[in-house]
Chain A
Amino acid sequence: MTVIVTDTGFAPEDWAGGFVGPDGLAANIAGLGLELGPADDPAALDGRLEGIAMIRVMFPAFSDGRGFTLARNLRAMGYGGRLRAAGHVIADQYAMVRRSGFDEVEIGDDLAARQPETQWLARADWRAHDYQSRLRAG
């Protein structure tokens, strides 16, 4: 099973809609989520993000940082729905995930056991000590 991590800690999966890849986007995806791999090009989704309620960006390995830029790009394109990082994301990356525009992280049970809730909550203060927001605040 999977665990969903947010600023308030661990919770069970609450997305019942399932996911399709960008190719499935042409069909009617009402109620479905969109899943992007690290190599998917968000520019190809320009103008098609309207009405999507959930996007899940996959992290094949925690050391592959493409997902962070994908999240930033989706937000810059105006995507305002739920944005989830899923796969191999570690507690030490929680602040980066949130600062890049994700709302939540989806991890497997084994990772949740190895890095329990307290280790994620330790980074729930991701708004603090952030050079980026300091340089952009207006």
Chain B
Amino acid sequence: MYRYTDFDEAFVRTRVAQFRDQVARRIDGSLTEDEFRPLRLMNGLYLQLHAYMLRVAIPYGTLNPDQMRQLAMIADRWDKGYGHWTTRQNIQFNWPKLEDVPDMLEALADVGMHAIQTSGNTIRNVTADHFAGAAADEIADPRPVAELLRQWSTDHPEFQFLPRKFKIAITGSPNDRAVTRAHDIGLRMVRNDAGEAGFEVIVGGGLGRTPMEGKVIRDFLPRADLLPYVEAVLAAYNLMGRRDNKYKARIKITVFENGIDSFHDAVEANFAKIRPRFTGVDQEILTAIEAQFAPPVFADRPEAPFDAAYATDPVFRAWADTNLAAHKAPGHAIVTVSFKAPGATPGDATSDQMRALADLAETYGYGELRISHEQNVILPHVHKADLPAVHAALKSAGIATANVGLVSDIIACPGMDYCALATARSIPIAQEIALRFEELQVEHEVGPLKIKISGCINACGHHHVGHIGILGLDRAGVENYQITLGGDHTERFAIGEKTGPGFPAEGIVPAIERLVLAYLDLREHREESFIETFRRLGMAPFKAALYDSEDRADAA
């Protein structure tokens, strides 16, 4: 895992001192509220419905146990004893006081962390496949490149006042768990015919009010060209992106309005000028970063304790069936710890849970933790023999829910409970759906199904790419929930289709129930998942289940 160099350390310390000074200069009037706003945003401080929120970067979702314990300490000392995992692999603290924020940032710097560029019209925290370095299907670990991009984008003088926010994601696996087609820039690590490593570069993807699938702007970019090329894209966007209308300011609109060809030409013209300025030092830095991501030495020992627990303990078996993924090293598994217990707030973690995870990572997990964009925590490397002990510890911490990838593993944005922009609640809807399916006891029967909920058209809950997407709107002062079906965030990227009229708050849970039960009737066999059945049959039978039933009255 990456450890800060002296340079990184000095950088974050200086940055904290600057922010402390900016807070003081806001108070003494040197900075107007307008001027202070982007400065606090580029340091992660956001003004929400009820209070400030501090969004802390977890670069490419990777944490060590000390960092996790420090997050727990921060939650206890300056917040209400918990934090919230976000869909961009960050953690949010929802109740900090402005005057405490510099101290919180200092505490982050103590463990090699920061909140820089987690908000505002800048290049945001770079996200990566949460199974990076562990997944059996991986070509290469994307995190060293993500770290290089973090360093390049941090405090980049040209790109701190972009037309709008800018998000980059990278994956090193053909199974795209990083949603690269819905990012401003998506990078897929690939090899060309000669076997050389490089990137497929995708631009202009995004969800939000105008969902668009990203377009390939370079199908093979040599590895050493990455920083100048990304810089060329940003420079083109900085000049061409619209600044007259914030809803048309993202790069997806720039690409759409100018056309991919003319945007491509602008990028290539910039690239020709920028490339010579990179002399190869960045590649040397990358090599040094890569050395820090060398995989641990995986233990080679019998898996017997796993087999015994699997055979005798049905609770363990259910958890193992849903929450484990294939690891590249023999005898190991990737553990996803669900933060979606039915009835709980998706993604909320208490400080005790954070400490329990830090201990587990230290004892059984080679000292590594990940945060997924699906708002869960990953122990990327666990030997199977240790899984019964890990499961027991998770049970005592209240985070052994066996539902990863199932109906109740819902992504939900903060919605009306926290967000000033919300038009409807999203967390309570997620809670009600999860509780309802727990009652029905059909979740494991239903199998893989991704439900994603957003509390307004900004789509932070990624509803467009949910197999079932739910969008909460405001219709004349009343919450109304619109359903989309068939979205997919993976390499089979698709934006969901609207089913028809939306449902009021009290009708949405029964509507989801009808959809899921209809799927059970429609599927050809147990192995055909919800999304596969939808792809085979299309909208019609699901629409019929939603609207043609007797309780049609609850559609509004």
User: Which residues of A approach B to under 8 Å, CB–CB?
Assistant: 43, 62-66, 68-70, 72-73, 76-77, 90-93, 95-100, 114-115, 119, 122, 128-132, 134-138
From B152, B162, B243, B278, A131 is in contact (CB under 8 Å) with B152
Chain B proximity of A49: nearest CB distance (Å): 14
Give every chain A residue within 8 A of B428 (Cβ-Cβ).
Answer: none
Report Cα–Cα, A69/B158, bound state, in Å.
Answer: 6
B269 lies within 8 A of A122 (CB): no
Contact flag A96-B31 (CB < 8 Å), given A66-B239, A136-B281: no
CB of A96 within 8 A of CB of B157, answer yes
Q: In the assembled complex, how far is the CB of residue B361 from the closest CB belonging to chain A, in whole angstroms? A: 29
Query: Is B158 within 8 A of A100, CB to CB?
Result: yes
**Pair A136/B277 contact, Cβ less than 8 Å:** yes
Please, which residues of chain B bring their CB within 8 A of the CB of A115? Answer: 30-31
Query: Which of B14, B121, B155 has the most chain A CB atoms inside 10 A of its CB?
Result: B155
**B273 and A76: CB pair below 8 A?**
yes
- Inter-subunit contact B235/A69 (CB<8 Å): yes
Confirm or deny: B161 has a beta carbon within 8 angstroms of a beta carbon on chain A.
yes
A sample of 17 more A-B contacts (CB under 8 A), given A65-B238, A96-B160, is A62-B35, A66-B238, A68-B159, A69-B235, A70-B239, A73-B270, A76-B273, A90-B31, A92-B31, A92-B39, A95-B157, A100-B158, A114-B29, A122-B21, A134-B285, A135-B151, A137-B281
Cross-chain contact B161 with A68 (CB below 8 angstroms): yes
The list of the 4 closest CB pairs from A to B, nearest first, reads: A65-B161, A138-B279, A99-B157, A96-B157
Query: A100 and B157: CB pair below 8 A?
Result: yes
**Majority SS at the chain A contact face:** helix
Q: By the criterion CB–CB under 8 Å, are B14 and A129 in contact?
A: yes
B278 lies within 8 A of A135 (CB): yes
Q: Is the CB of B151 within 8 A of A131?
A: yes
Q: A66-B238, A76-B273, A131-B11 are in contact. Are A138 and B281 (CB under 8 A)?
A: yes
Choose from A65, A73, A134 the contact partner of B160 (Cβ within 8 Å).
Answer: A65
Assess whether B274 is in contact with A76, with CB atoms less than 8 Å apart. Answer: yes
Could you say which residues of chain B place their CB within 8 Å of the CB of A93? 160
How near does chain B come to A130, taking the closest CB pair, in angstroms? 8
What 1/0 mask marks residues of chain B from 233 to 275 whose CB sits below 8 Å from any chain A CB? 0010011000100000000000000000000000001100110
The answer to whether B161 touches A131 (Cβ under 8 A) is no
Complex CA distance for A62 and B160, rounded to whole angstroms: 11
Total count of chain B residues near the partner, CB < 8 A: 43
| Alpha-carbon separation in the docked complex, A86 to B480 (Å) | 49
Q: B11 is contacted by which of A66, A69, A129, A136 (Cβ under 8 Å)?
A: A129
Inside 8 A of B273's CB, which chain A residues have their CB? 73, 76-77
Residues of B contacting A136 with CB < 8 Å?
A: 277-279, 281-282
**Residues of B close to A122: CB separation below 8 A:** 21
- Evaluate whether A92 and B22 lie within 8 angstroms (CB atoms) in the complex, with A69-B238, A69-B239, A136-B282 already known: yes
CB of B30 within 8 A of CB of A114, answer yes
Minimum CB–CB distance from A47 to chain B (whole Å) comes to: 14
Q: Are B30 and A119 in contact (CB under 8 A)?
A: yes
Expressed in whole angstroms, the Cα–Cα distance for A92 and B279 within the complex equals 30
Measured between beta carbons, the chain A residues less than 8 angstroms from B536 are none
Cross-chain contact B155 with A72 (CB below 8 angstroms): no
A129 B31 Cβ-Cβ under 8 A: no
Could you tell me if B235 and A73 are in contact, using CB atoms closer than 8 angstroms?
yes
Cα-based distance from A135 to B7 in the complex (angstroms): 12
Q: B235 — nearest CB in chain A belongs to which residue?
A: A69
- Does A135 contact B152, Cβ atoms closer than 8 Å? yes
Q: How far is the CA of A137 from the CA of B270 in the complex (A)?
A: 20
A137 to B7, CA, bound (A): 14
B31 touches A64 (CB 8 A): no
B280 contacts chain A at the CB level, 8 A cutoff:
yes
CB closest residue in chain A, given B243 = A64
Determine if B227 is an interface residue (Cβ-Cβ < 8 Å): yes
How far apart are A7's CB and chain B's nearest CB, in angstroms? 15
Does B291 touch A at the CB level, under 8 Å?
Answer: no
Closest to B160 in A: A96
Docked Cα-Cα span, A131 to B269, in Å, equals 24
The answer to whether B282 touches A135 (Cβ under 8 A) is yes
- Docked CA distance A99–B39 (Å): 18
Q: Which residue of B has the minimal Cβ distance to A122?
A: B21
